[in-house]
Structure 1
């Protein structure tokens, strides 16, 4: 999944205590002991950009952890987010520095969704613990409120363009001193050409930003792209960045380039951004899911992903 130049993917840092956040195939992967989770975060109130580690703005933030290893669904997992107070080793308990603590519990659907409100910019630490034979903890530090939002980026682009145009006009005026001035009509044509250039450039910048914000992009899915599963999925779930038109959702399933029938009609949930589709009984094989959707403002997007199903 790509969101063009506005997708934010943070730099990789090493974790501590048997864990780390890393990048693989444009997705963030969190390692806890020998287990892996996909890490995705976004701030819908400020932009549609995804981030891997650092959080660009303060405010409401949604973080989703998807289990790569199915065996994790039967193991208690706990999560903690805390301010980095300089303590070398943090305890996996609810302390005064915690802004979020989720005690150990099992997640049969293989997904942990966290919603938190960061009120202050600064340095924070995330912790994920697996309560198996002993406790394995992954620590990953991250910054909040030190990134670039789309609006801020657009504002800086306009400032740079305005500065460049101003510099050009100033240099042209100085160059013209002492020379014979052109006719009034010629000067007017030059000024009109410059105005058209500035207007076109601003339209391109604004149009590009609007296109990124308006299109519905697939954030993630259950099953995930490239995953291997051995338990039936019911329903299959697709998560999008924008609300969708119910009647214009198309989801198809194929195996070995042959269409698979028996899918239910797509059902919307989650403020119109989540698509649920019940699947028929599947036999072992590599499946391709093809989808096309239209956001409520009329923009169409499409894509596909694959998963491997092995019969239990």
Structure 2
């Protein structure tokens, strides 16, 4: 009877952990946040949305990066339009070195009927950069910006890895608490002392 209860508690804790972590894993893989509404690669430009992606094929194959590139090197910078309205508007892309604001590469104002702007750029040094996306809509210039940091190491991981590890360790501790009377007694004793403070 005791083993069955322990097994059920273990399955429950594992199920809760997996169900808590899985929904966020695809968002974390794409730069963090909760899927689309917090996708940092997604930029609003005057009520229209574009998606920025950077590739470093010589360093990481077809792995996608957003605002953090692991190291300097040859990169392909891609702006994808979301929807067809932008295809009829003039759009410009520019990359600047920050904080100086020095222009490094510029795709001139033009209509991009395929909905994609692609430009190669070889980042020579780690540092801060800024992607500028400008569109002209009904005679009005609208600007949006995306900060880019080059030389950050791997884009994925970092805080997200620690968060996942913390969740897994907490779940394992909870399972141990439920299944081991000695450990439960120790934790209850420590919590009792903590309440006295």
TM range (shorter): 0.5 to 0.7
CA contact (8 A) 2:69 2:155 kept: no
CA gap of 1:45–1:79, structure 2 versus 1, over 3 A, is same
Q: 2:133 aligns with which of 125, 128, 134?
A: 128
Which residue in the other structure is 2:60 paired with? 47
CA gap of 1:137–1:107, structure 2 versus 1, over 3 A, is same
Which residue in the other structure is 2:123 paired with? 118
Counting only pairs closer than 5 Å after superposition, residues 1-312 of structure 1 correspond to structure 2 as 9-10=30-31, 24=36, 28-48=41-61, 49-85=63-99, 97-133=102-138, 134-148=140-154
In structure 2, distance between residues paired with 1:46 and 1:26: 27
| 1:124 partner SS | strand
Q: Which runs of 4+ in 1 moved over 2 A?
A: 7-12, 25-28
Q: Could you tell me the TM-score, scaled by structure 1's length?
A: 0.37
Q: Could you tell me the TM-score, scaled by structure 2's length?
A: 0.57
**CA shift at 1:110, angstroms?**
0.8
Query: Which protein is richer in helix relative to its size?
Result: 2
CA gap of 1:26–1:61, structure 2 versus 1, over 3 A, is farther
- 1:255-298 CA distance string (max 9 Å, x none): xxxxxxxxxxxxxxxxxxxxxxxxxxxxxxxxxxxxxxxxxxxx
* RMSD over equivalenced CA pairs, Å: 2.8
**Structure 1 segments unaligned to the other structure (5+ residues):** 13-21, 91-96, 151-312
- 1:79-137 CA distance string (max 9 Å, x none): 11011125xxx6xxxxxx11111110000111111211100110111100001131000
In structure 2, distance between residues paired with 1:125 and 1:66: 17
| 1:135 partner SS | strand
CA gap of 1:25–1:85, structure 2 versus 1, over 3 A, is closer
CA contact (8 A) 1:121 1:144 kept: yes
Aligned length: 128
The higher-RCO structure (CA 8 Å, 6+ apart) is: 2
- 1:135-167 CA distance string (max 9 Å, x none): 0000111101122289xxxxxxxxxxxxxxxxx
CA contact (8 A) 1:46 1:149 kept: no
CA contact (8 A) 1:8 1:51 kept: no
**Structure 2 segments unaligned to the other structure (5+ residues):** 1-24, 157-197
In structure 2, distance between residues paired with 1:34 and 1:26: 16
